[in-house]
Chain A
């Protein structure tokens, strides 16, 4: 095992650049999924706490009824 040359023989910007760019994508994907889950959980809560007799018109439903 040999310690890698951190500057990558002068190509550091490109090597680390690629990995950082990739990392950004991975992080973005996971984070946006988390947000999606959180939004769903919130809606789930709102729906279950609402009495059934008062339907809530939201989002796309407005378009379909107009």
Chain B
């Protein structure tokens, strides 16, 4: 079955992930130069930007897996979606917190309602909704499918939400400078960003597979428990 295969794959992702994190941070801190405008504070982007991207990618991936699981009655696919949700939410949270840490020294406040941060916050709400819904439903199949509907509605709504937040933001900003502007990207900075992004991907695969195995086991155990009782 899938379970042992997943088990074998995990170290192939976990170890490279650790290596890439180390490499990425090395490049980001030892090789990339100090930014002209933002000083060394900009180095936060090496975790902030990959985390934000992961938050978004994983949400779409989650919706796709959930949709496939629903459409084709593929339980493994649905379980994958449930596993992705927590990691995705975590990256989104990291992106929000690191964004706050970045905003304070560069723009003076811990939180800024710019389009990107606000959209990320809403993305976190969407994750929370998905996770809460699945947590509230005891029956695994209903939880899988209900989650799929919610995730698909969410994924369709995300571009609309993003657009409306952009709209809202430009209306209220007036002539102020664009917030959280990235520094002028040098080659080494880009390299560090991409390496960190790859590291995050590998980490996610490893973690999601581990969690997936847990979910598989939990469902099997629940099934056998019910069988014992004769339900």
Contacts and interface: CB of A to CB of B under 8 A. Distances in A.
Contacts of B214: 33, 36-37, 40
Interface string B198-231: 0000010001001101100110011011101111
B60 interface: no
B221 A44 contact: yes
Provide the main secondary structure of the chain B interface: helix
Contact of B231 (A25, A30, A64): A64
A25 B94 contact: yes
Interface size class of A (residues with CB under 8 A): 35 or more
Interface residues of B, number: 42
Contact of A14 (B104, B221, B225, B231): B104
B48 interface: yes
A1 B40 contact: no
B221 A47 contact: yes
Nearest to A21: B97
Interface in A16-43: 17-19, 21-22, 25-26, 29-30, 33, 36-37, 40, 43
Interface of A: 1-5, 8-11, 14-15, 17-19, 21-22, 25-26, 29-30, 33, 36-37, 40, 43-44, 47, 52, 55-58, 60-61, 64-65
